[in-house]
A and B are shown apart, each in its own frame.
Chain A
Amino acid sequence: MPIRLAVALAILMGLLAAVSAATTITVIQRGLALDRASMSLATGDRLNFTNDDDVIHNIHIFGPGSEENVDLGLQKPGKLLTYKFDKAGAYRVRCNIHPSVKMAVTVK
């Protein structure tokens, strides 16, 4: 019984460690620009995108394959959009409405 308990605790601790290893980073969208041009993430990390402007934005994530993309939709002022990067590879993030709002993301 003590052995089983120890194994269960070890698995639980492992899971907790795995969960806490994934991080969430906030990217600020302000002045028709993202606050960083590029960044590196680990698989499973999540990005939160703010809209600190007073106009509608959009977040569209392209990658990692050439045909893969996810459109997170329109983003009204103040709304938060979030995306978890589950696959390794190179991504491009941009606003379909504002072509200058863009960044590169590398997931390892």
Chain B
Amino acid sequence: MFLDLLRRTIARQSEARIGWLLARPHRLHSRSFNLFGRDLRILATLALLAIPVTAGPALAVPSFAIQTSQPCAACHIGAFGPQLTPYGRDFKLHGYTANDGKDHGLPLALTTQSSFTHTLQPQPGGAASGFRPNDNFAVDQLSLYYAGQIAPKLGAFIELNYDGVAQQAALNNVDIRYASEGQLFGQDLLWGITANNNPTVQDPWNSTPAWGFPYNRSALAPTPMASTLVDGGLGQRVAGVGVYTLWNDLLYLESDVYKGLNAPTLRALGQVPGDGDQTAAFVPYARVALIKDWGSKAHHAEIGAYALSANVVPGGDQTVGFAVRKTDVALDATYQFISDPSKVTSNRLSAHATYVHETAIMASGAPALTGALPDHWLDTMRFDVSYSFAATVTPSVQYFRTSGTADANYWTTPNGSPNSDGMILEIAYVPWGKPDSPFQNMNLRLAVQYVNYFSFDGSYADASKNNHFYLSLWTGVKF
């Protein structure tokens, strides 16, 4: 259904350039690409997607840029989403409603992600259904956004996407906001309401999971099997509403409650119910952060915490259908330095850290039947630093580590350990999205990423075989 919507909308807007591709969805179905054969046509089409359609500014979600008359670099470190600048956070907290006063029509945008993945060792049987064991080209995602103001004080970020690896169209991240301002104790108070479908997708700092580094990653490379619930485990599988406040540009508070979506609803939205954690219960989520800007806004620091708790049935038949009570408590921090706040192309340093501690308590009776321990813990830690040169070249590095209770009857790893750690090195190049860019209605991000595992699913000996290069091209075009 969503693929049809995506196809119809895109074809209406730019039929001459891209209609032929989307009218033949079999061309996008996952399979190995022959770079020197007819698949060159698909790559050529991806390039065409980046050709200007109409005039106007653009960025990763170009409709935001159009609405505000701002270049991508005003909101995004490195001139491409999703890493936010102070203004990007302000824009989000104010409900995506800030604007230049002009009528730009519906805030629709299109992005594409295509990639090449090379793993150190081939993956027997293929990297995914229809792909070769190694050296795969893929159309990772085609995404259609409604992103911008709906009414005064009301805005939305809604993403429909087609996953070219999973061959699945789905409703992706949704964040609909109402924001208003007032005063409390003589100081400015910003408050708002968010309706969203992914805990932390509503968060304005990139130190929380939904918008954390890496901002894109290979869907064709192995990834560790253990992750915490707040780390994407509930993404697009719940729907929730929350209230947030920012007082005196100092204290941020948020409280949300989510409800798990049932299997028919998940299927209707393009999700596969059994692929991830399922819950039918209410899920409380809370967030607090202290922030400080100083040095004429050259420096920004944030330190915070977030937590959620849910009764879930782990996906992949991990517990043979028994429920597990998972509680995640997390700390996070952000620091940004802007060398010249008056220039959006000035050099910028960003650092993010997050630590999540999860406890998982199995339902009574489950340990006896599964042989698993009754309680488990899982810790995830990530720390990344990036430095953006002139909003054009942005090298980044991240260290990540996951560790937890070893239990061969709980984790589906070879030795029962969920432990993994490693580093990600990335360099991204973004030619446009700046005030003087020649192409004002489009942008692209070309990135090379190398993921190096020191340990993987409890094993040090075989960890390096999962190391991989990921070359990605990300384009954004406004309608």
Contacts and interface: CB of A to CB of B under 8 A. Distances in A.
Contacts of B71: 55
A58 B101 CA distance: 9
A54 B99 contact: no
Contacts of B344: 53-55
A55 B90 contact: no
Given A31-B297, A74-B69, A99 B345 contact: no
B341 A31 contact: yes
Contacts of B342: 30-31, 52-54
A97 B99 contact: yes
Interface of A, helix, strand, loop or mixed by DSSP: loop
Given A55-B71, A98-B90, A33 B101 contact: no
B118 interface: no
In which size bucket is the chain B interface? Answer: 20 to 34
Contact of B98 (A55, A71, A99): A99
A74 B298 CA distance: 25
A58 to B, nearest CB: 7
Given A55-B435, A56-B100, A58-B101, A97 B69 contact: yes
Interface in A40-64: 52-56, 58
A20 to B, nearest CB: 33
A29 to B, nearest CB: 9
Contacts of B94: 99
B70 A100 contact: no
A82 interface: no
Contacts of B297: 31-33
Contacts of B70: 55-56, 97
Interface in B86-127: 86-87, 90-91, 93-94, 98-101
B98 A96 contact: yes
B325 interface: no
B97 to A, nearest CB: 9
A98 B67 CA distance: 12
Given A30-B341, A53-B342, A96 B87 contact: no
A54 B99 CA distance: 17
Contacts of A100: 86-87, 90, 249
A101 B469 CA distance: 42
Contacts of B345: 54
B343 interface: yes
B74 interface: yes
A73 B342 CA distance: 20
Nearest to B341: A31
Contacts of B249: 100
Given A56-B70, A58-B101, A99-B90, A33 B296 contact: yes
B68 interface: yes
A30 B87 CA distance: 13
B87 A54 contact: no
Instruction: Name the residue among B74, B87, B100, B342 with the largest chain A CB count within 10 angstroms.
Output: B342
